[in-house]
Amino acid sequence: PQGAIAPILIQRDGLFKLDVDDDIWQDIGLEDDFVGFPLVWLADERVHLGIRSLLELKRCEEEERRLLYERKTLMEWHSEEWRRLETCRVDAGKRAVVSLHVLR
């Protein structure tokens, strides 16, 4: 088609060792709305940085959700353990009083 750009030749040697910056990912000319100027997400380093920053932010938000869930679970576990220890302490005190009465 008029204005179409031929894709870059893909080398067989490294086909299965692709990197994110390899030419195979360049899809310039595959869409009808391409009019000859480089796409911003492809050509602008600031956009690259913005995309990476956004992805890092999303990963941090996911990790924060996991950590909040883990904190909640740990607090519930600790509360239950504390309750059981208190029950054991009270029971041990009662047994000690009974033992003293038996010894007298």
Lowest mean pLDDT among 14-18, 22-26, 33-37, 66-70: 33-37
Helix segments in 1-104, DSSP class H: 40-43, 45-103
CA 19 – CA 24 distance, rounded (Å): 9
CA 68 – CA 63 distance, rounded (Å): 9
Return the domain boundaries, the chain.
Answer: 44-103
Half-sphere exposure of 59 (CA within 13 A, CB side): 6
Residues in the chain: 104
pTM for the full predicted model: 0.52
79-103 pLDDT, tens digit per residue, is: 999 999 999 888 887 776 666 555 5
49-62 pLDDT, tens digit per residue, is: 999 999 999 999 99
